[in-house]
Every structure is written in C-alpha cells, then in structure tokens.
Amino acid sequence: MAEPLRWGIISTGGIARTFVNDLQYTESGVAVAVGSRTIEAANTFADRFGIAHRYGSYEELVADPDVDAVYVGTPHPMHFENARLALENNKPVLVEKAFTMTAHDAIELIELARAKKLFLMEAMWTRCLPHVAAVNQLIAAGDLGDIVAVEADHGQYFEYDPASRWFSPELGGGALLDLGVYPVSFASMLLGTPSKMVTMIDPAPTGVDRQVSMIFGYDNGAQAYLNTTTGAKTPTTATISGTHARIEIDGDFYAPSAFSLITRAGDARRFEFATQGRGLHFEAAEVARCLQSGLLESPLMPLDETVSIMQTMESVLASA
C-alpha cells in the first residue's frame, strides 16, 4: 500500500473540520499541517485533531515540505487566492466548491495547474460517494434508457443576518454558489452543459440570491428542474427519469444516501450503502488515487466541467 497522502489544511472552519474528521475513515491520507490567519486558531484546530504542524499564515502552510497536497476550505471568495498560492508553491490542490467566484478565475487556476503539471480538483464530494457511483453504473448499463428529466433541490434555512456569509455580498453570500452548486453539478454530471435555461431569482435584502429556480434544456430534448434556497429546509432529494425507469434518491441526495430504481411498470429495487462519517473521505481517497496514478485531474470531476458549471451559474445569476 502506498504511504498515506499528507494533507495541509487551509482554513479552520466547519467544512475543514468535517474534512479532517472524515480522514479517520480512510487509510489514503492524514492531516499533517494546518494554516490559519492566526496562530491561535491554527493551534486550537491542530490540538483538536492531533495535527503536528500549525501555522499562523497560509504562506507557511504551503511551504511546508511535509505537505503532499493542500485542501482549501475557506469561503469561496478566498478560493482563488488560496488555491493559486498553493499551486505556485508546487502543491496539488483540492478546492472546496463553489470552485471560485467566477469562471474567469476558474480558468486561470486551471491554466496555472496545467502549466505546472500539478493536480487540481473541485471538492464536489458527491461525485465520489458510493450511491452516486451505483447510479452512474445503472445509467451506463442502460437500466434507465434515455434520460428525459432530472429534478434536484437543495434548500437550508438560515436566519437572515446581513453580516453572515449566507447574505453578505463581500463573503460570497447567496444560495446558488453555496447550495445550488450541488443540483447544478448533479445535472451537469448526467446531462452536460445546458443549451438554454429559464430562471427565477428572489433576492435577499442585501441583494444576494435567496432563492433560485432553474429549468435547463439540452439539445437532446432532456430537461433539468432545479431549485435552491436559504429560506427553507427543502426535501433535498433528486430524481432521474428515463424512458425505461427512474431513480429516486433520498435526501440528502448530495451526501451519503440511498435510492430506489423504479421501472415503468412500478417494480422497485432498493439500493442502500453502509458509510461512515459525513462522506468527505471518499473525495480524499480519490485525490490520493489520482496522485498515485499520475493523473493531473479526476475523471469523476473533470476540470473543464468545473469551468462549465461555473459558467452556467454565472449565466443564471446574470439573468436576475
């Protein structure tokens, strides 16, 4: 077995805590260093998870020779600068979603990674989960026939606070980039880039999007119906309907979940999966697998598709 990938963590926030906690469920990697804007925050995080190296700056973190790869878990307005810093220091990078704030920034990061021949991946952990792998296998085997419609939603309730990251424009607030990226990416995985779209956006008082509904159309006639909101806890389910059968994924569809395959005649098969933790260890294992195989990007979350998803979300927001 290859040596575990040694992770350096940029951020001490909630998603970084989940990522590091989930590393206990895989032998593929271990957190060896953490960087924060203050040494106090880095020490608190490192003490909690038993991390040896702690730094009061991101520059020190990416310069650590014991770090094999960097995980960027800061809010998405900071992703571009944090990921670029890691790449410039010759570190492979896993960047939380939304990948960046704009498609332009995504393209620039990808061009840098490709020029330096470094691995880069958007941390769309959903792509790496067991139930999603099973869904894709059924589709590839033809069990659904031709996909006609995809439905997915992701809504969570957050009390309105103009200073919070959910509602502050400066912190990249809004439902689409934080929550809606999941259903948009899910539709992209199944149907590709839409050729047309119809949208409805309801803004929060700060001007960021509080609720977004989207209908995407594709050249083959398929459609996707997607919704995201910070104003309510929605079912967070997903359905893929094909000419032969449909798949209904339980909520939360983007996290470790289960699903049913239901034929046109109503016959149902249930698919359930035993998983541990929140499920972020699957994407960590995918990064390790790719690096051990000499890959510069993951086939589960290709970089060109990350750009396409960013461009789609930009178009949605521009339609307001």
Residue 28 lies in a domain: yes
Question: Does residue 320 carry a pLDDT above 80?
Answer: no
Question: Does residue 17 carry a pLDDT above 80?
Answer: yes
By DSSP bridging, strand 245-249 and strand 259-263 are antiparallel
> Of 316, 281, 287, which is closest to residue 301 (Cα–Cα)?
287
Same domain, 141 and 155: yes
Say what the alpha-carbon torsion angle 72, 36, 116, 7 is, to the nearest 10 degrees: -70
Same domain, 143 and 104: no
* Rounded average pLDDT over 181-199: 98
Question: What span, in angstroms and rounded, lies between the C-alpha atoms of 164 and 252?
Answer: 24
How many domains, the chain?
2
Residue 311 lies in a domain: no
Residue 118 lies in a domain: yes
Same domain, 93 and 201: no
Question: Any idea what DSSP says for residue 235?
Answer: -
Residue 306 lies in a domain: no
Question: Does residue 108 carry a pLDDT above 70?
Answer: yes
Residue 165 lies in a domain: yes
Same domain, 111 and 188: no
Residues spanned by the domain of 208: 130-274
Share of the chain above pLDDT 70, in %: 100
Same domain, 157 and 196: yes
* Rounded average pLDDT over 52-65: 97
Can you give the CATH number for the domain in which 103 is found?
A: 3.40.50.720
Same domain, 239 and 152: yes
| Residue 2 pLDDT class (50, 70, 90 cuts) | confident
Can you give the CATH number for the domain in which 211 is found?
A: 3.30.360.10
Share of the chain above pLDDT 90, in %: 98
pLDDT of residue 65: 97
Helix, strand or coil, per DSSP, at residue 247: strand
* Rounded average pLDDT over 213-218: 98
Question: Does residue 1 carry a pLDDT above 70?
Answer: no
Question: What span, in angstroms and rounded, lies between the C-alpha atoms of 212 and 314?
Answer: 13
Same domain, 262 and 167: yes
In this predicted model, what pLDDT tens digit does every residue of 109-168 receive, in sequence order? 999 999 999 999 999 999 999 999 999 999 999 999 999 999 999 999 999 999 999 999
Same domain, 115 and 72: yes
Is there a contact between 128 and 282 (Cβ–Cβ < 8 Å)?
yes
| Residue 62 pLDDT class (50, 70, 90 cuts) | very high
Same domain, 120 and 155: no
Helix, strand or coil, per DSSP, at residue 86: helix
Same domain, 108 and 136: no
Is there a contact between 62 and 42 (Cβ–Cβ < 8 Å)?
no
Same domain, 36 and 119: yes
Question: What span, in angstroms and rounded, lies between the C-alpha atoms of 87 and 90?
Answer: 5
Same domain, 151 and 264: yes
Residue 14 lies in a domain: yes
Question: What span, in angstroms and rounded, lies between the C-alpha atoms of 68 and 74?
Answer: 19
User: Mean pLDDT, the chain, as a whole number?
Assistant: 97
Residue 303 lies in a domain: no
